[in-house]
Amino acid sequence: MKISVIGAGYVGLTTAACLAQIGHKVFCSESDAEKLRKLQNGGIPIFEPGLDAIVADAMRDGRLVFGSTDEAIDSAQVIFICVGTPPLPNGDADLSAIESLARTIAQRSTGYKLIVEKSTVPVQTASQLLRHLTNRSKLGARFDVASNPEFLREGSAVYDFLHPERIVIGVESQQGESILRELYAPIVGQTFNCPLHASCPDGHTVTLLVTDANSSELIKHASNSFLAMKVSFINMISDLCEAAGADISAVAKGIGLDSRIGSAFLNPGIGFGGFCFPKDVQAIVRIAEKFGCNFDLLKEVEKINQERIAQFLGKIKKELWVMRGKKIGVWGLAFKPNTDDVRFAPALSIIRELLLEGVQVQAYDPQAAERAAQELPEILYCDDPYLAAEGADAVLVLTEWPEFQHLDLGRVARTMERPLIIDGRNALALNDVVAHGFEYVGIGGVRSSGLSKTIQQKAVFAD
């Protein structure tokens, strides 16, 4: 099938490359001239595991071509909209990129076009889009608009696209539905050639859910805000554990074993970040308000998340006492592992606060340093985690990159001013860290001296 994808950000580029991988001929456009040039020359503007290989492969045999928006509109009957919908100051999603794209599509199109919304948009956007396209159509084109939200996690986006748990299609016309069913058939049947081989699951089942457009749009916002709610919930339980002398690792495990709850998204820490959860939680609160529904529950989710930064800073201050003039090593800048994305990354918020306190920060991240440096040029970026720890009064773990679990901790401890690790993600193994002579402060009561606090409490009761 010939498909166009408009917008080559995380979602658009992954969508374009994966649709090419499953056998379609894809034209992908990007309005940022520099980014487009890079893509046309075989460069990938983002770090996303596995993406570079499938883009290169598809470009080599002409299944994936990059170019302008006008060319993308003219090249295919099926057009995926993957442009940004960033938050406005009031929390609403900014749909101006979608509106201006719709105007161009309406003006250039002839015949039948199926417009597929992949960008995250508020409920009722598809119906607005259809009205806009039809009213502005200059050359007598006929349009269908479908909602087809993405559920791609940064860091495993290629895997998630090719092996999803569900594909949701919100469509009002028979023709639109059959086109999308045919387009996704290789993924639903898992019949394509998978580039991920080793991690490709056997007998994977994909559910294709066809709904009306409004429901599909709402599924996306509801999914993200539910997951965000889980994270804020476990973060509050973690505070309770800390105050009451319980261990969040045990508590999270204990509740996650109930299949009605599930163990995913119960990792406590410095809060959720990235370009999706923070904006989507705000957006659904605003959407609910517009429809007269009070979603205070999600306002609280957002508030709890914002307070994680101050809560973590409190931990640091408690350990270091006077902050001015201290040197702190930071491991991890990205909002989560396996990505170079630092948008709304809690690590950057924490570092900004440290700088205000007069702390000297030296940081390491395997992928995100370059992007972080654009936002925070005033700190020292190190080439490895050992250099970031050298001479430091404490090391903070702010992103749980797997490589931090395999460091030579003895070497780290020897070069630090004080061997103290404050782990914002409970990413390191407590026993291991303690065995190398570190003091360790994690989240939710997981700490070297905290364990003895529990023991002390027990001793009091025993007395």
The C-alpha angle with vertex 151 and arms to 41 and 368, in degrees rounded to 5, equals 50
Tell me how far the alpha carbon of residue 458 is from its chain's centroid.
Answer: 41
Q: Quote the CA–CA distance of 25 and 65 in Å, as a whole number.
A: 8
* Shortest distance in whole angstroms from residue 376 CB to ligand UGA: 17
Q: Which stretch binds ligand UGA (CB under 6 A): 17-25, 135-143, 271-279, 372-380?
A: 271-279
Which has the closest alpha carbon to 22: 149, 141, 186? 186
**Neighbour count for residue 265 (Cβ, 10 Å):** 16
| Helix H or strand E segment including 172 | none
* Shortest distance in whole angstroms from residue 79 CB to ligand UGA: 20
| Among the listed residues 21, 85, 120, 362, the single contact to ligand UGA using CB under 6 A | 120
Instruction: Compute, in degrees rounded to 10, the torsion defined by CA atoms 206, 211, 217, 220.
Output: -30
265 binds ligand UGA (CB under 6 A): yes
Name which of residues 190 to 249 contact ligand UGA (CB under 6 A).
224, 227, 231
* Helix, strand or coil, per DSSP, at residue 211: strand
Q: In the numeric block, which tokens belong to residue 403? A: 């490589």
| Among the listed residues 80, 143, 312, 335, the single contact to ligand UGA using CB under 6 A | 335
* Shortest distance in whole angstroms from residue 152 CB to ligand UGA: 5
Nearer to ligand UGA (CB atom), residue 269 or residue 445 = 269
Q: In the numeric block, which tokens belong to residue 268? A: 């406590």
Q: Quote the CA–CA distance of 352 and 336 in Å, as a whole number.
A: 18
Exposed/middle/buried for residue 358 (C-beta within 10 Å: 0-12, 13-18, 19+): exposed
* Shortest distance in whole angstroms from residue 308 CB to ligand UGA: 9
| Among the listed residues 30, 48, 144, 150, the single contact to ligand UGA using CB under 6 A | 150
| Among the listed residues 143, 161, 184, 272, the single contact to ligand UGA using CB under 6 A | 272
Q: Check if 276 is active-site.
A: yes
Instruction: Assess contact for 195 and 54: CB atoms under 8 A.
Output: yes
Q: Is the backbone of residue 24 left (phi > 0), alpha (psi -120 to 50) or beta? A: beta
Nearer to ligand UGA (CB atom), residue 276 or residue 333 = 276
* Shortest distance in whole angstroms from residue 107 CB to ligand UGA: 30
Q: Which stretch binds ligand UGA (CB under 6 A): 46-54, 123-131, 151-159, 286-294?
A: 151-159
152 binds ligand UGA (CB under 6 A): yes
Instruction: Assess contact for 432 and 442: CB atoms under 8 A.
Output: no
Nearer to ligand UGA (CB atom), residue 393 or residue 400 = 400
Q: Which stretch binds ligand UGA (CB under 6 A): 101-109, 263-271, 388-396, 449-457?
A: 263-271
Query: Exactly one of 28, 82, 276, 382 is catalytic; which is it?
Result: 276
Binding site for ligand UGA (CB under 6 A): 120, 150-154, 224, 227, 231, 265-267, 269, 272-274, 276-277, 335-336
Catalytic positions, written as ranges: 276
